[in-house]
Amino acid sequence: MSKSKNSSQKSQTDDLIGAALVIGGGIAGIQASLDLTEMGFKVFLVEKTPSIGGRMAQLDKTFPTNDCSLCILAPKMVEVFRNPNIKLMTYSEVIEVSGHAGHFFIKILKKPRYVDEDKCKGCGDCASKCPKIEAPNIFDMNLGRRKSIYIPFPQAVPPVYLIDSDMCLFLNKGVCRVCERICEAQAINFEQKPEEVQIEVGAIIVAIGFDMLASKLPDNWGYKYENVITSLEYERILCASGPFEGHVLRLSDEKEPHKIAFIQCAGSRDFHIGIPYCSSVCCMYTAKEAIITKEHSNSSECYIFRHDLRAYGKNFYEYTQRAQDEYGVKYFNSKISKIVEDPKTKDLIIKYEDLDDGKFHDLRANLVVLATPLVPSEDSEKVAKILGINVDKYKFFKEKTLYDKLSSEQEGIFLCGFCQGPLDIPETVADASGVANKVSTLLYLVRNTLLKEKVVSVPEKKINLEDEPCIGVMICHCGINIGKYVDVPQVLEYIKTLPNVTVAVDNLYSCSSDSQTRIKELIAEYDLNRFIVASCTPRTHEKLFQETCEEAGLNKYLFEMVNIRDQCSWVHMEQKVDGTKKAKDLIEMAVAKSRLLKPQKESKLSITPEALIIGGGISGLIATLNIAIQGFTTHLVEKESKLGGNLNNLYQIFPGYQKASEFLEPFVNKVKSHSNINIYLNSNITEIRGYIGNYDVIITTKGNKVNNIKVGIIIVATGANELIPETIYNYKKEKNVITQLELEQKLRKENIEWLDNIKSITFILCVNSRQKEGITYCSNICCTNALKNINILKKLKPDLALILIYRDLQMSKKGNEEFYRDSRKNALFLRYSLDKLPIISKTKNGKFNYKITLFEHNLKGEVEFYGDLIILATPMIAPENFKELSKMLKVPQDQSGFFLEAHVKLRPIDFATDGVFLCGCAHWPKNIQESIAQANGAAGRAIRILSAKEMKTSGLVAEVIEDYCIGCGKCADVCPYNAIELIEVEKTFEDYTLCLKKSNINSALCKGCGTCGVQCPNSAIFISHFSFKQINAMIKAYLKN
């Protein structure tokens, strides 16, 4: 990348561009793009493949909720597609970048699809007639086949077909052109050429994801055998839309495998083949795949070979335990030696030594799933070169510093997702919000300068509910996608006969732009006050038609959509008559509902542009700084007398060995000196009232000084504590049995004379964690912390004997495996299991203080050794005071007491309650790097709201009929968004005045989910646009026939 020479003498703002380029349309790129537009920036989203969605779209389910992966991702993909401020450029690649942070010049190459993106309606007629069936289906990991004109997968975004130029008969041999003849939309264009597009942006986000290495693996992993597949291939096999339509079959004979073996670390953690890092996510997705397999067929047997179990994430460890305890998945503690095929049956023989019993075994499996290494995308070096950024030794993009993984070394270019290093979906999503925040911090001066806001010129029509409904209906053929299976003219004639249907028309593609003009004309010509489109799914198209209605002056809630494609033509392809009848029924029901539709108002809500951050640890400091820098007043509340949180107790930090105090100092100074920041030390929150945009908070400082503040958002960054063990290992009595934090405090002393008399130190990991009862989770960070301390101690006193007793070593993430390998030389590593805990006894007048007795699997017996100091690595726990805060904020805690996010996968730093966000160890134990990234993310999520000034509330909300409400409070109990509270209402009757409890729904917080309406025992709550009357009318309309 060349630096632009004319960086000019213009003022700073003039040179900044209020837009960002996002490279890569996986979940990372999608989330970053959506957040950026909400923060007021235009986005160019460039994706190399024909559809956005990335790897997450290929997964079958996601753990721990076992949600369908694409089902939770697709709405976000559609949101990207529908967002007027995201310019989506699929099948495109960035080829040139110049300029500098704030103002980059980008050249993008758009590859020819040979299908006009504006004309193609995604109906699929072309593919059904395309004669060539040869290309392996890339989306299905090459397991299935596809046509040479294709859409990568049914939910692809954009929903536009393309021609594989290597496979197409016409492009290669000059014959065929069947698609061109069949396409009613005339979208096929064989003349398309590669096209260069130039854009200017202020910042660049790189999110190009990862590949899965398989074919290059050494022979012993057996990938060459038919029935040995990678886990991503297995995801496709599990998936209902995969090559076997969700039947778990193996490739050799397409029979159901009975015994399935999952092999962990099949190439990862392997210095020899050049993947020296832990791919970090395999232990978890394998547990998930095993569980899903058991759900497919309970009689199948699942075996997992693993060496260390690395469940790196919130409640992940428990999920792996559930796989064993509830689903009967069998885990073996071994890295296998090799896999060989039985040539007759095509079964696989796995050769391994079980480390628990020391015996050699052969396990025969019908199918083997390899957790092969996840490696940087093959493009990473090329992209790095174009952008002028560096890759690290593993070919992941190199981060700016160990503690700022979201920035590249080049200013204005940011990194997000797996292309920077191994990580899972929640962390990717949090990081995506984090990079959006980074962009916002760079470009906040030009926020909202390039956004398109829709201006509707036609004033909204007044609708009197007493007026006779005049309904317009448009029925779509969708090329032949609907028309071939549903007799549209017949449906149309029937619909025309229904009362209140003023006009009904059919057309080829209702979504085309001429159809939008047609809808507007119909509304004007017939003075319509309701409109219905019967076509495809509202998921992708409802918003388009609603906007069209608004442009014609019709309130968008007077529009109704019927899905006769998925519901009729797709599922009743073989039953044309019944499908047609169903289409009639569905539209008639919509007409019945439509008669009762009311216009709904979307009110506007002002936002106080101030933020409250609870907790002054590293997460809180980072969040505070990021919000303040962007010009918002920020209040930081810390219960202690000093900022810095847990870092105040640490000696050196992982992984850079900086002194914690020196690391912390610049952040604290910046916060202290920033004019937008108000710091409240020794303070607690004593009251919180209000809702998103408008919180009233009372902060009480020691000495009962009270501050009332008004804020728009709240970030919870309260951190977590180290568990103080009560009974175990005689901790309470023995002064030389201490926790890791106590060791850190010893190390913080300048004087290390205390080490003089110590010859041997023993670290015990997983103390009081990963148990069957009590604390069941893995605290994730103790392993790296212990190893860091071992290295520090060895440096301080080289002749010190160090012993580390562990169960599994948690060394996920990019550099940690190598760190572990380097650390091994400094200590003796011994494994123990939960059922045979080490025993510590005091020695009598010996050379050492303690004797440690441990069961050694290798010897099948006990070994004894001696130590002077015992360090217990106890887990981080949620402090008691979380309860109080959780009540005040109306946000939930999980079973371990940590704060519970809105969705563990896709909303990891939001609470279900709008306007409250979460970061750092209050969410889950995490290291400094991750805390900082997450704090950036939380700041980003908050900036979306703070920068908006005002918010539109949805018209689709629950409403209380006050007279019917009996004040039972059941609705408030179930509301997932905390939008309902009980208020006291004074009611005056003839003789009495009563104070009655009534449900009160805050329409700013309500999402219209309807849970309260179902719960209400007295039908006092209805959901606007889905009222009982409207639903009843639909049912009646159906029953009439």
d(CA 804, CA 832): 10
The tokens describing 848, both together, are 């050492």
Q: Which stretch binds other proteins (CB under 8 A): 96-104, 336-344, 584-592, 714-722?
A: 336-344
Q: Which stretch binds other proteins (CB under 8 A): 73-81, 253-261, 351-359, 379-387?
A: 351-359
Q: What are the φ and ψ backbone dihedral angles of 888, each rounded to 5 degrees?
A: -65, -40
Among the listed residues 355, 450, 738, 837, the single contact to other proteins using CB under 8 A: 355
Q: CB of residue 834 vs other proteins: minimum separation in angstroms?
A: 18
Share of the chain residues as helix, strand and coil, in percent rounded to the nearest 5: 30, 25, 45
- Residue 342 within binding range of other proteins, rule CB under 8 A: no
Maximum Cα–Cα distance for the chain, whole Å? 103
Residue (of 761, 822, 832) closest to 796 by Cα position: 761
Pick the closer one to other proteins by CB: 193 or 272.
272
Q: CB of residue 801 vs other proteins: minimum separation in angstroms?
A: 11
Per the omega criterion (within 30 degrees of 0), is the bond before 376 cis?
no
Q: Name the CA radius of gyration of the chain, rounded.
A: 31
Q: Which stretch binds other proteins (CB under 8 A): 282-290, 355-363, 576-584, 975-983?
A: 355-363
- Residue 338 within binding range of other proteins, rule CB under 8 A: yes
Among the listed residues 830, 922, 1005, 1006, the single contact to other proteins using CB under 8 A: 830
Among the listed residues 210, 865, 924, 977, the single contact to other proteins using CB under 8 A: 865
d(CA 405, CA 412): 14
Give bridge partners of residue 362 from the DSSP assignment.
351
d(CA 479, CA 406): 46
Q: CB of residue 804 vs other proteins: minimum separation in angstroms?
A: 11
Q: CB of residue 279 vs other proteins: minimum separation in angstroms?
A: 13
Among the listed residues 2, 8, 186, 337, the single contact to other proteins using CB under 8 A: 337
Q: CB of residue 337 vs other proteins: minimum separation in angstroms?
A: 2
Pick the closer one to other proteins by CB: 361 or 732.
361
Among the listed residues 87, 322, 351, 518, the single contact to other proteins using CB under 8 A: 351
d(CA 277, CA 768): 28
Q: CB of residue 358 vs other proteins: minimum separation in angstroms?
A: 7
x-marked contacts with other proteins along 607-626 as a string, rule CB under 8 A: --------------------
Among the listed residues 642, 821, 987, 1040, the single contact to other proteins using CB under 8 A: 821
Among the listed residues 834, 839, 863, 1014, the single contact to other proteins using CB under 8 A: 863
d(CA 602, CA 952): 6
Q: Which stretch binds other proteins (CB under 8 A): 493-501, 681-689, 734-742, 858-866?
A: 858-866
Q: Which stretch binds other proteins (CB under 8 A): 331-339, 488-496, 867-875, 996-1004?
A: 331-339
> Contacts with other proteins in 867-926 (CB under 8 A)?
none
d(CA 996, CA 1017): 17
- Residue 476 within binding range of other proteins, rule CB under 8 A: no
List Cβ neighbours of 497 (8 Å cut-off, separation of 6 or more): none
Tell me the DSSP string of 199-242: EEESEEEE---EEE--TTS-GGG-TTSTTEEEHHHHHHHHSTTS
Nearest-10 Cα torsion for 950, 952, 958, 960: 50
- Residue 360 within binding range of other proteins, rule CB under 8 A: yes
The interaxial angle of helices 69-82 and 27-38, nearest 10 deg, is 40
> Contacts with other proteins in 261-320 (CB under 8 A)?
265, 269-273, 307
> Contacts with other proteins in 516-545 (CB under 8 A)?
none
- Residue 858 within binding range of other proteins, rule CB under 8 A: yes
Among the listed residues 825, 844, 847, 860, the single contact to other proteins using CB under 8 A: 825
Q: What are the φ and ψ backbone dihedral angles of 61, each rounded to 5 degrees?
A: -125, 165
Question: Which residue is it, tokens 């029925």?
Answer: 475
Size of the site for other proteins (CB under 8 A): 34
> Contacts with other proteins in 182-241 (CB under 8 A)?
218-220
Pick the closer one to other proteins by CB: 82 or 346.
346
Q: Which stretch binds other proteins (CB under 8 A): 458-466, 589-597, 820-828, 903-911?
A: 820-828
x-marked contacts with other proteins along 762-801 as a string, rule CB under 8 A: ----------------------------------------
The tokens describing 476, both together, are 């779509």
Among the listed residues 824, 836, 887, 952, the single contact to other proteins using CB under 8 A: 824
Q: Which stretch binds other proteins (CB under 8 A): 69-77, 497-505, 741-749, 821-829?
A: 821-829
Q: Which stretch binds other proteins (CB under 8 A): 348-356, 421-429, 681-689, 938-946?
A: 348-356
Contact of 300 with 259, CB cutoff 8 Å: yes
Run of H or E including 604? strand 604-606
The tokens describing 68, both together, are 């369908």
- Residue 861 within binding range of other proteins, rule CB under 8 A: no
Residue (of 378, 355, 374) closest to 265 by Cα position: 374
Q: Which stretch binds other proteins (CB under 8 A): 96-104, 330-338, 491-499, 672-680?
A: 330-338
List Cβ neighbours of 630 (8 Å cut-off, separation of 6 or more): 440, 441, 444, 943, 946, 947
Q: CB of residue 229 vs other proteins: minimum separation in angstroms?
A: 21
Question: Among the residues of 6-68, which ranges form H helices?
Answer: 12-15, 27-38
Q: CB of residue 827 vs other proteins: minimum separation in angstroms?
A: 8
- Residue 604 within binding range of other proteins, rule CB under 8 A: no
Per the omega criterion (within 30 degrees of 0), is the bond before 976 cis?
no
SS3 state at 953: coil
Q: CB of residue 268 vs other proteins: minimum separation in angstroms?
A: 9
Question: Which residue is it, tokens 């004087």?
Answer: 751
Among the listed residues 573, 577, 828, 834, the single contact to other proteins using CB under 8 A: 828
Q: CB of residue 999 vs other proteins: minimum separation in angstroms?
A: 59
Q: Which stretch binds other proteins (CB under 8 A): 420-428, 711-719, 852-860, 1010-1018?
A: 852-860
Tell me the DSSP string of 140-173: TTTSSEEESEE-SSTT-BS---EE-TTT-HHHHH
Per the omega criterion (within 30 degrees of 0), is the bond before 908 cis?
no
Q: Is 132 exposed, middle or buried (0-12, 13-18, 19+ CB in 10 A)?
A: middle
Contact of 441 with 411, CB cutoff 8 Å: no
Among the listed residues 438, 447, 831, 890, the single contact to other proteins using CB under 8 A: 831
Pick the closer one to other proteins by CB: 219 or 962.
219
Question: Among the residues of 392-537, which ranges form H helices?
Answer: 425-443, 488-496, 513-525
Tell me the DSSP string of 381-414: HHHHHHHT--B-TTSSBPEEETTEEEEESSTTEE
Contact of 235 with 289, CB cutoff 8 Å: yes
Q: What is the DSSP letter of 275?
A: B
Give bridge partners of residue 348 from the DSSP assignment.
341, 365
The tokens describing 728, both together, are 């175990």
Q: CB of residue 269 vs other proteins: minimum separation in angstroms?
A: 6
Q: Which stretch binds other proteins (CB under 8 A): 110-118, 373-381, 455-463, 851-859?
A: 851-859
x-marked contacts with other proteins along 64-103 as a string, rule CB under 8 A: ----------------------------------------
Q: CB of residue 218 vs other proteins: minimum separation in angstroms?
A: 7
d(CA 200, CA 97): 10
Pick the closer one to other proteins by CB: 27 or 278.
278
Residues near other proteins (CB under 8 A) are 218-220, 265, 269-273, 307, 334-338, 351-353, 355, 358, 360, 820-821, 824-825, 828-831, 856, 858-859, 863, 865
